Amino acid sequence: MPQRSPAASTPLVLINKGGGSAGDDAAKDIRAALRSHGIDADVETVDGAKAANRAAAAVKKGVKLVIAAGGDGTMSAVAGALADTKTALGMIPLGTLNHLARDLCIPLEIEEAAAVLSTGKTQKIDLAELNGRVFVNNSAIGLYPLMVVDREAQQKRLGRSKRLAMIVASLRTLVRFRHQRLSLTVNDSKERIDTPLLFVGNNDYRTDIGGAGKRESLDGGHLCVMVMRHNNRRGLIAAAIRALFNRTRDDDMIRLEDVERLRVDSSRQSLTVSLDGEVLSQSTPLDYRIRKRALSVVTPRAGTKP
């Protein structure tokens, strides 16, 4: 029986140097935190765009654990490289929102996240996919990606804070509001809709006041597909205001049930789409699907504090 090489047994940490709070001391802090919990790892600081390639190379070498240190974009990129392999994903959240880490109860402090990597369990979770590209959280078509494009342009040109730029972008996008006509094929059923916003999530997202934007499970085996029903500016603005104050109503969005595959088509040759916070232009049609239990991830054991 062939012996496993030392390199294969050593975890690899990939720190996105442009991800959230990843400062100059991140590598030193992460290395020290892991060692304090008995983990001796190879630590690399990489450009976000190269994280997936480095993770894929680690898989080929037989590395059993790749630890992503960054925000949701970093987690998404590394998860895509580890999907359907024997290599597990570990997480050290360094981003602004850290949606995936929060939904999996991963602590947001480096020291506590390192403790989970030492004492946690490995579980399988679902991934979602758009035109062959993996995402861990969600995707949107319509108003939201347009707001993000406007926000990023303001930050670059005017130096505005992310929060202020998003408020201005939201107001301008609402003023320019117009719906899109989309053709949806849900599993094998086809229908046309007019909507300002289509949301596609990896498993069910809550819309109630107490848990809006959260997921209770990441292994439910389906996409969360929601369509904003408001087709006039007044209704849209009212729904947007409720969302800002975390008071979303159930009837603001129509939820489509038991979706495993979704095709989105349009008269346009391409659509602007957000994917785990990144905005892309994608040629139509857009093909979404759920990849059931495609990723192994290290999470806290039951009874431990997140």
CA angle at residue 294 from 289 to 300, to 5 degrees? 125
pLDDT score of 212: 65
pLDDT digits (tens, 9 = 90+) for 194-218: 777 788 999 999 876 666 678 999 9
Q: Write the Ramachandran bin of 301: left for phi over 0, alpha for psi from -120 to 50, otherwise beta.
A: beta
In angstroms, rounded to a whole number, what is the distance separating the alpha carbons of residues 43 and 22? 13
pLDDT score of 221: 97
Separation of CA 42 from chain center: 25
According to DSSP, residue 205 is labeled P
The CATH code that applies to domain 135-292 is 2.60.200.40
Query: In 3D, which of 223, 75, 69 has the Cα closest to residue 139?
Result: 223
In angstroms, rounded to a whole number, what is the distance separating the alpha carbons of residues 98 and 75? 9
* Spatial CB neighbours of 29, under 8 Å, sequence gap ≥ 6: 110
pLDDT score of 215: 93
Q: Which parts of the chain have pLDDT scores under 50?
A: 1-6, 244-246, 306
pLDDT score of 41: 95
Structure tokens belonging to residue 158: 């005017």
What's the whole-model pTM score?
0.84
Q: 6-119 has which fold?
A: Rossmann fold (3.40.50)
In angstroms, rounded to a whole number, what is the distance separating the alpha carbons of residues 306 and 98? 13
Q: How far is CA 89 from CA 55, 83, 120, 152, 161, in A?
A: 10, 9, 12, 30, 32
In angstroms, rounded to a whole number, what is the distance separating the alpha carbons of residues 294 and 288? 15
Residue with tokens 């292994």: 219
pLDDT score of 163: 72
Every domain of the chain and the residues it spans: 6-119, 135-292
CB atoms within 10 A of CB 184: 19
Domain 6-119 and domain 135-292, same fold? Reply is no
For residues 140, 144, 146 and 147, what is the CA-based torsion angle, rounded to 10 degrees?
-150
Query: In 3D, which of 70, 64, 82 has the Cα closest to residue 106?
Result: 70
pLDDT digits (tens, 9 = 90+) for 76-89: 999 999 999 999 99
pLDDT score of 104: 97
pLDDT score of 1: 36
pLDDT score of 219: 97
